[in-house]
Structure 1
Amino acid sequence: MPLGILDDTTLEHIPGTAPLNALGDTATYTGIDPGLLKHDRTGKIVLVPQPSDDPNDPYNWSRTKKELFTICYGWGCGCVGAVGPLLGSAFVPLAAEFGVSLATFTSAVQGGAIAAIAVGSLVFNSLAVKYGKRPVYLGTTIGLLVSCFWGAATTSFPSFVASRVFCGLCMAPMEALVPASIADVWYVGLLLSQENRLQYDQVCPRAWVPYRDLQSRGLGGGLTWQFRSLCSPASAIIEYGSYHAALYAMGGAFSVQLILIFLWMPESAFKREALNIDTGKTTVTLEGKPDLELVEHVWGNRTPTSRSSHSWFQDLWPYSGYVNHVSFWNTLIRPFYLLGSPAVIWAVLLFTICISWLVGISLTLSQIFSAPPYSFSVVGVGATNLSSFVASVLGTLTAGPLVDGLITKMSKMNGGIFEPEFRLPIMVTYLIFTSTGFFAWGQASYAKDPWPVSVIVCLGLINFGIQLGTTGVVSYVVDCHREKAGEAFATMNFIKNMFAFGLSFYINDWIAIQGVRNCFFTIGGITIGITLFTIPM
């Protein structure tokens, strides 16, 4: 196998390996009869994964339906990304208001929510595998709405902590299930030769419109994490109003999310009877029925008989009737089986440090910038998130085209065969930008440099690099474990959040005792060391 990727000598079908060439180039379809493959409407591009013949298959949804589905999880990720650090800029004054220490407030309010996300990732993933994703999204969105109004109305610290823990529990699906939802709906990135691209443009002059139907999960994953980086204007609401008003406003945002999910986010779990075109050793022909595999989700022993498309009103039902034959308890434990996969172990390490360090920064912003020489107000501390937002926008605009461009180029070099490992070179940018940002952040804060150095340059580098890194991690895992993407991300989110939960107990004291430079120099070194594990991958 070219490009340094080791060949597999055991599996008949190698997960994630797939031909991405146009139909005419049959030489690159080792072991697969091109006559069996389904293409886009131009007939020039192979669809990966292969859709079924059922019009209700999410891969066969119209472009409008897919776009509306994407808007729903995009808005949901934005809301969940905002409610987590919602009060971060006001930790110092809120701890004083409730009469507890900063460390106690951080570990109870933020740490409790993070631990609840970890548990919820496993529980709701199991429910989604068993009964589908739509009822889980609807139910937890109602829970998020209730938790925000609960937290806004209470004045007791234990009750406030309980509301945030319940909020964290309901945040879990937008943490763990969205990447799997992307895999349910969108195709993998596709390879167009120059000749076929010209032909494609002649058939479809506005080629970007239909091609977006075939957009890779690399861009989809990048959009997901971009939306998660959005921060609400909560700091201004808290400063000029109260934290109660901020939570009421967040509850209103989740009310909008509930409406969007109800209207535009139908069930995407689907029993798919389609050709598995992962590269194998056995030639697939029309007579090769054993090679026509049931992929993705399993719907008990039932076989779909209806080929009529569901109406919009049918899609509005909160529960579609989807039932998986697997045991709920087995599904609850099964995600940890994936720790036997090198791809998942690597992703757990990278995903944990990518996101947990951002959690650590959010827990310490108020501690660093509320103190001299900065002495920022709550609004000032909250405004530091604008740098992260802008950097994440730039990262999103860069990550998708960069990842997809790399896999296109490397697939061409590989004879038209796509390998999930083609997602990994993007991690070089994560290593450079993020580690540099941590070292610079620690030094600038220690030297009391002007705030634009710390906020604009350092936070910008960190968030830009993390945006690129998470895009690579998410898309790589989805490509390696397409059928088990939900379980993989449940594992990743559980371990990441448990690590972040532990971090909430010591990050503030770590900075207070050893100083911000030693703290973030250590974090930068850990980032470099963990990222270097990408080389053996």
Structure 2
Amino acid sequence: MPFGILEDTNLEHIPGTAPLHGHSDTDNYSGIDPGLLKYDRTGKIVLVPQPSDSPNDPYNWSRMKKELFTIAYGWGCGCVGAVGPLLGGAFVPLAAQFDVSLTTFVSAVQGGAIAAIAVGSLLFNSLAVKYGKRPVYLGTTLGLMVSCFWAAEAKSFESFVASRVFCGLCMAPLEALVPASISDIWFVHERGFRTAIFNLGVLGGINLAVPIAAVIIQYASYHEALYGMGGAFALAFLLIFFCMPESAFKREALNIDTGESKVVLEGKASLEQLEHTPSTTLTSNEARASWLKDLLPYSGYVNHVPFWNTLIRPFYLLASPPVLWAVLLFTTCISWLVGISLTLSQIFSAPPYNFSVVGVGATNLSSFVASVLGTIVAGPLIDGLVTRMSMRNGGIFEPEFRLPIMVTYLLFTSTGFFAWGQSSAAQDPWPVPVVVCLGLINFGVQLGTTGVVTYVVDCHREKAGEAFAAMNFVKNMFAFGLSFYINDWISNQGVRNCFFAIGGITMGVTLFTIPMYIFGKRARGWVHRRGFADRL
């Protein structure tokens, strides 16, 4: 029972559990000869998952190629985070310009985009599973650029709404597929910081878009803001085209982290094939793909699973306790941020603050700074903690070692919501709600969502895309509903009661992490035995 995690006695190999630290040659990991394992450059950390010997295996890419990949999706996720709330400061004049009520405008434009993201999460995940992620990233990023220019030139309300719905549809891959891409190229002990970069992109984009766009809208027009956003997506398209090759790869490697009854080779028969070879590694005569081949929009990757299977499979993963727990945490923490963004104008445009459009937008800067600070400490806190706990656990990694970081979400984010509600109701000087409260909330969310995402990837590496498709679908449908009642909730019950309730809900759902930590390993074994993700 490592650190209070209950063992599963029904399976020898539990999905997600894997050796992470090297021992002497006389040791073995549940029957695995350490001499067959591949290690990092220090020779101390076992590479999980095990890479093949192919030079084209994404796990074997050069460090520069991997970091460029990270920069590309970081920028792309930032743009996706920005485009959603981009026009928040212009809703009132836009509603007047298109001659519709503000409620109708917000529900059609924002609600339509959020619902489209939910649908796109399922649709584009299915395409990515079947044909690879690169063509999906390229096609949808191009679609995002077109949608911004379309919205800038829209002459009718119907055309404007259609452009935003199309935008929402194309936003989905850079929200739902990136965690799976991270698991395609980074090892377990490296994923925490790279996942924090993904979260920083999405949350940082949300927080920076509002103040920047508010200035552009106030001193120019919403057309220029949309043109600028289209240009940002043009740059994202170029970065993805040149720096994000296809990461889906059919490898032959020692499979030590997916819970097979025999620790098998992906694509081979069994471990015995390795044990009777003269070398401790697989040999590969495969030539390294050229840079020009990496630039092809489609690599030729095909998964022969039927399309309808990949479309339905995410819902089967909702039966997995780790995914269900993640849906609960991920949905609430991101949706509450959406709720805050929808109510900033309601709170700070009124007395005693009387902020202008630019002033309301500038309140997001503290959230961005908090997200950056969360990203900086994510590596030492999440990856470092996992490494140390694995070392003290006899070198064996458990995905539940990701979960102690949720203490930061409980302490900072819950406290931030309570303080936000109290300070806003008491009309404290603006630095208290803006700097202190929003800072606490976003610092905790950055670390908490990173813990949630890495835990799901570690539990369901081979089905990470499907898991995040399901998570994104539920999260966006919840946010879609929240957009209809959050403002009325504050108007009827007051900002204090509203955010005290949100703080209490946040504490309640976060406490589910305790049973998830204790019973998580048994839950992973149960899911593997039941085969929920493979029943189709």
Q: TM-score, normalised by structure 1?
A: 0.90
User: Are 1:383 and 2:362 counterparts?
Assistant: yes
**Contact persistence 2:374–2:446 (CA under 8 A):** yes
20-29 vs 330-339, greater mean Cα deviation: 20-29
Aligned to 1:401: 380
Corresponding residue for 2:176? 176
Residues 7 and 155 of structure 1: CA distance in aligned 2, closer, same or farther (over 3 Å): same
Q: Which residue of 1 aligns with 2:529?
A: none
Over the aligned positions, Cα root-mean-square deviation in angstroms equals 2.1
Q: What are the residue-to-residue correspondences of 1:52-91 with 2, within 5 Å?
A: 52-91=52-91
Secondary structure of residue in 2 paired with 1:273: coil
Q: CA deviation at 1:100?
A: 3.1
User: Is 1:346 aligned to residue 320 of structure 2?
Assistant: no
8 Å contact from structure 1 (residues 135, 319) kept in 2: yes
What SS does structure 1 have at the residue aligned with 2:354?
A: coil
Whether 1:470 and 2:449 are equivalent positions in the alignment is yes
- 8 Å Cα contact 2:53-2:284 kept in structure 1: no
**1:253 pairs with 232, 247, 251, which one?**
232
The farther-off stretch of 322-331 and 399-408 is 399-408
Change in 2 beyond 3 A, CA 1:282/1:101: closer
* CA deviation profile, 1:197-256 (whole Å, cap 9, x unmatched): xxxxxxxxxxxxxxxxxxx21111111101112223111001101111100000000000
User: How far off is 1:24 after superposition?
Assistant: 2.9
Contact 1:374 1:451 in 2 (8 A): yes
Q: CA deviation at 1:47?
A: 1.0
Say if 1:106 and 1:363, in contact at 8 Å, map to a contact too. Answer: no
In the alignment, what sits opposite 1:229?
Answer: 203
1:427 to 406, 430, 438: 406
Amino acid at match of 2:118: A
Of 437-446 and 41-50, deviating more is 41-50
Alignment of 1:237-248 (within 5 A): 237-248=216-227
Q: 1:291 to 1:460 in 2, by over 3 A?
A: same
SS of the aligned residue for 2:188 comes to: coil
Q: What is residue 33 of structure 1 aligned with on the other side?
A: 33
The question of 1:45 aligning with 2:19 is answered: no
| Structure 2 unaligned spans of 5+ | 274-282, 517-536
CA distance in 2, matches of 1:481, 1:273: 19
**In 2, are the aligned partners of 1:30 and 1:281 still within 8 Å (CA)?**
no
Give 1:285 shift. 10
Would the alpha carbon gap of residues 91 and 452 (structure 1) be closer, same or farther in structure 2, given more than 3 Å must change?
A: farther
Tell me which residue corresponds to 2:514. 535
Q: 1:421·1:476 contact (CA, 8 Å) conserved in 2?
A: yes
* CA drift at 1:90: 3.1
Aligned-pair CA distance for 1:293: 11
The answer on whether the counterparts of 1:31 and 1:280 sit within 8 Å (CA) in structure 2 is no
Given that 2:23 and 2:395 are in contact with CA atoms closer than 8 Å, whether structure 1 keeps it comes out as no
C-alpha separation between the residues in 2 aligned to 1:293 and 1:176? 38
Number of matched pairs: 500
Determine helix, strand or coil for the equivalent of 2:461: coil
Identity of aligned residues (%): 79
- Residue 151 (structure 1) aligns with: 151
Matches within 5 A, 1:308-319: 308-319=287-298
In the alignment, the residues of structure 2 paired with residue 292 and residue 331 of structure 1 have an alpha-carbon distance, to the nearest angstrom, of 29
| Counterpart selection for 1:498 from 465, 468, 477 | 477
Judged with a 3 Å threshold, the aligned counterparts in structure 2 of structure 1 residues 273 and 359 are, in CA distance, closer, same or farther, namely same
Question: Does the Cα contact within 8 Å between 1:180 and 1:485 map onto a contact in 2?
Answer: yes
- Distance, in Å, in 2 between the alignment partners of 1:491 and 1:285 is 28
Q: Deviations over 1:384-407 (max 9, x none)?
A: 110110010111112221011221
Amino acid at match of 1:317: L
State how far apart, in whole Å, the 2-side matches of 1:375 and 1:285 are.
65
Amino acid at match of 2:440: L
Aligned to 1:277: 256
TM-score (structure 2 length as normaliser): 0.90
Q: Distance in 1 between matches of 2:509 and 2:137?
A: 33
Aligned to 1:220: 194
Q: Is the CA contact 1:360–1:504 (under 8 Å) kept in the aligned structure 2?
A: yes
Per-residue CA deviation, residues 444-498 of structure 1 (Å, 9 max, x unaligned), is 1111111111111111111011001101000000000000000000000000000
Question: What whole-Å deviation, never above 9, does each CA across 1:320-371 have from its counterpart, x for those lacking one?
Answer: 1111010111100001111111000000000001111111111111222222
| SS of residue matched to 1:135 | helix
CA distance in 2, matches of 1:79, 1:285: 41
Q: 1:32 touches 1:279 (CA, 8 Å); kept in 2? A: no
Partner amino acid, structure 2, of 1:22: G
